[in-house]
DNA sequence: TCCTTACGCTACGACCCGTAGCGTAACTGC
DNA sequence: GCAGTTACGCTACGGGTCGTAGCGTAAGGA
C-alpha cells in the first residue's frame, strides 16, 4: 500500500482478484465451521480452490489473513442520524452487538486481539482495519450531538480527543464484555440501560 | 470437584500436589516467554520437570490448563475500603489495569475468552474461575456505598442484579478495551476520568 | 503383603506448518 | 509476435505438535 506502491506500472501476471475474494470468503466460512483455533491455512486453501502457496504469497500467516477477512464485517457499521444522541448511541450499541452475534466475528475478534498483545505489526493492522473504523462512529456521533446542541463544543483539542477515546472504550468495551465475557445478550433493554447511564454521565460532566 | 468427590476415602497413590504447583508455575512462565499461541503442552511439561502424560491426566488440553494457571492471578484483586465510592472505583480500575499489564494475563485472558465462544464448558470454567471473582468486587463496592449513603438501596432485586451486571460490564469492559484493544495505558488520569463519568451517570440515575 | 492409582518414559500415527522447486499461465513492453 | 516478468498449481519435504497407548516403577491404603 505504501512501500512499493505498484498498481500502475507493473509487469508480469497480475494477482487474481477472484482468488483474493475466494480466499477471504473461505476464511470466513472456515471460521464459522471450525472456529479460530481449528482453522488452518490448508483448509482455507482447499475451500477457496486455491493452492496453499497462494495464501502465503499474500498473507504472512493465519493472524493477518483473519484480520483482513473479518475487517470487512466492520464496514457494515453505520451511524444513521436517529435524531438524538440517545437514539444514536443505542443504535450503534445494538448494531455492534448484532455484529458480535455472528460466529465469524465472535471467534476471530478476541483471538486476533489476544495475538496482537505480542505482535506490534498485527496490532497496527487491527487498529487500522477494525478499531479506527469503529472510532469514527464515535467522532461522528459527537459532532452531530454538538450540532444539535446536546453536547458542548470543547475548547481544548487534546482533552476532547481524550474524552472521545474514553467514550469509545466505554461503549465498545461494555458491549464486547457483555457479549463475549458475560456471554449474555445485548437486547434493547440492556442497550437502553447502558445508554442512559452513559448519557447521564456525559450530562453531569457538562454541568460540573 | 462434584461428581466423584473423592478427596477422602481414596485408595492408590495420591496425585502429587508438588507437580500441580510446578505445572501451573511452568504454564505462567511459558506464557510470559512464548505467549498463548506458541505455548505447547510439551514445553510446559519440560519446564515443570514432568512427563507430558501427567498433564493430560489432569487437564483436557491447553485451554483448561491456562485458565487454571491464570485464575490465581485474579485472586490478588482486592477492594480495601478507601472511604468513598469514587476512591473504591478508581482503586479497582487501577488494580485491574495493573493485572492486565502482566504479560501472562494479557496474552491468556483474551485467548481463552476467544476459545470459550465455541466451548460452553470452557466458558463456565472461566466464569467460575475468573469472572465471578471480579464481579464480587462490584457487589461489595455497592454494599459499601449503600452503607455510606452514597447509593440508594434498591427495592426490586432483579433490577438491582441487572444494574450490577451492567456496571460490571462497563468497568471491566472499558479497562480491558483500553488496555488490550486501544493498547493505551490506564494511568491515574484515565482512571479518574472514567470514574467521574461512571459516578455522574450513577448519580443521575439516582435522581431521575 | 496385596491392591490400586499415579508417575516417567518411549513410541506412535496423524496433522499442520512454511518453504523449495518445477512447469505452466497471464500480462507488459519492445 | 517475442522476450521478460510475475503469478499460479502442484508436489514434496523436514520439523514440530497433538493426544494416546503400553510398559515398568513408585507411593499410598486395606
- The reply to whether B53 and B82 lie within a common domain is no
Cα angle at B150 between A191 and A87, to 5 degrees?
20
CA gap B193, B187 in Å, rounded? 10
Say which DSSP state B154 is in. Answer: P
- The reply to whether B98 and B122 lie within a common domain is yes
- The reply to whether B85 and B144 lie within a common domain is yes
- The reply to whether A149 and A121 lie within a common domain is yes
Mean pLDDT along residues A111-139: 97
- The reply to whether B107 and B15 lie within a common domain is no
CATH of the domain at A185: 1.10.357.10
Min CA distance, B73 vs chain A (Å)? 17
Q: Which pLDDT tens digit goes with each residue over A78-91? A: 999 999 999 999 99
CB neighbour class for B34 (10 Å; exposed up to 12, middle 13-18, buried from 19): middle
CATH of the domain at A32: 1.10.10.60
In a domain, A168, yes or no: yes
Mean pLDDT along residues A178-182: 98
- The reply to whether B50 and B76 lie within a common domain is no
Chain A residue closest to B190 (CA)? A166
Cβ contact A63:A37 at 8 Å: no
Residues 50-79, chain A, CB closer than 7 Å to nucleic strand D? 50-54, 57-58
In a domain, B131, yes or no: yes
Of B36, B175, B193, the CB nearest to A114: B36
Mean pLDDT along residues A107-132: 97
Q: Which pLDDT tens digit goes with each residue over B9-67? A: 578 999 999 999 999 999 999 999 999 999 999 999 999 999 999 999 999 999 999 99
- The reply to whether B118 and B179 lie within a common domain is yes
- The reply to whether B161 and B123 lie within a common domain is yes
The sign of the CA dihedral A169, A171, A175, A181 is: positive
What Å distances lie between residue A165 and A32, A114, B168, CA to CA? Answer: 31, 21, 20
Nearest to A171 by CA among A69, A100, A84: A100
- The reply to whether A129 and A53 lie within a common domain is no
Q: Which domain holds residue A198?
A: 72-207
In a domain, A7, yes or no: no
**Distance from residue A58 (CA) to nucleotide D12 (C1'), in Å?**
22
| Confidence band, pLDDT 50/70/90 cuts, at residue A5 | very low
- A109: cell is 475478534
CA gap A193, A174 in Å, rounded? 12
Q: Which nucleotides of C are covered by protein (CB under 7 A)?
A: 3-11, 15-21, 25-29
Phi, psi for residue B13 in degrees, rounded to 5: -70, 130
Q: For A28-55, give the DSSP string.
A: HHHHHHHHHHH--HHHHHHHHT--HHHH
**Distance from residue B121 (CA) to nucleotide D24 (C1'), in Å?**
36
Q: Per-residue pLDDT for B139 more than 50?
A: yes
The sign of the CA dihedral A101, B120, B130, B30 is: negative
**Distance from residue B61 (CA) to nucleotide D19 (C1'), in Å?**
9
In a domain, A64, yes or no: no
Min CA distance, B19 vs chain A (Å)? 28
In a domain, B27, yes or no: yes
Q: Which pLDDT tens digit goes with each residue over B92-107? A: 999 999 999 999 999 9
- The reply to whether A93 and A155 lie within a common domain is yes
Nearest to B174 by CA among A167, A187, A142: A167
CA gap B29, B27 in Å, rounded? 5
- The reply to whether B14 and B81 lie within a common domain is no
In a domain, B65, yes or no: no
Q: Which nucleotide is nearest to B19 (CA to C1')?
A: C7
Per-residue pLDDT, B207: 87
The sign of the CA dihedral A34, A172, A125, A141 is: positive
Q: How many domains does chain A have?
A: 2
From chain B, the residues in CB contact with A126 under 8 A are: 181
What Å distances lie between residue B9 and B3, B17, B20, B104, CA to CA? Answer: 14, 17, 21, 37
In a domain, A11, yes or no: no
Alpha helices of A59-187 — where are they, by DSSP H? 62-74, 85-101, 103-116, 120-126, 132-148, 157-176
In a domain, B167, yes or no: yes
CB neighbour class for A58 (10 Å; exposed up to 12, middle 13-18, buried from 19): middle
- The reply to whether B85 and B173 lie within a common domain is yes
Q: A interface mutation test: which of B109, B127, B135, B170 has the most A CBs within 10 A? A: B170
Amino acid at each position: 500500500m505504501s512501500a512499493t506502491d505498484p498498481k500502475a506500472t507493473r509487469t508480469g501476471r497480475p494477482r487474481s482478484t477472484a482468488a483474493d475474494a475466494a480466499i477471504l470468503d473461505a476464511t470466513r466460512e472456515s471460521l464459522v465451521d471450525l472456529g479460530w483455533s481449528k482453522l488452518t491455512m490448508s483448509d482455507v486453501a482447499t475451500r477457496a480452490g486455491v493452492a496453499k502457496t497462494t495464501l502465503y504469497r499474500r498473507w504472512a500467516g493465519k493472524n493477518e489473513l483473519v484480520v483482513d477477512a473479518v475487517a470487512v464485517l466492520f464496514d457494515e457499521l453505520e451511524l444513521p442520524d436517529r435524531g438524538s444522541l440517545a437514539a444514536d448511541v443505542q443504535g450503534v450499541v445494538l448494531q455492534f452487538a448484532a455484529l458480535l452475534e455472528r460466529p465469524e466475528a465472535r471467534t476471530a475478534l478476541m483471538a486476533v486481539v489476544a495475538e496482537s498483545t505480542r505482535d506490534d505489526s498485527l496490532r497496527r493492522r487491527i487498529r487500522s482495519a477494525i478499531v479506527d473504523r469503529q472510532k469514527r462512529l464515535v467522532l461522528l456521533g459527537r459532532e452531530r450531538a454538538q450540532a444539535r446542541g446536546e453536547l458542548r463544543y470543547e475548547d481544548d483539542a487534546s482533552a476532547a480527543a481524550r474524552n472521545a477515546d474514553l467514550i469509545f472504550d466505554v461503549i465498545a468495551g461494555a458491549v464486547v464484555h457483555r457479549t463475549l465475557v458475560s456471554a449474555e445478550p445485548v437486547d434493547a433493554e440492556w442497550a437502553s440501560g447502558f445508554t442512559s447511564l452513559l448519557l447521564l454521565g456525559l450530562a453531569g460532566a457538562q454541568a460540573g
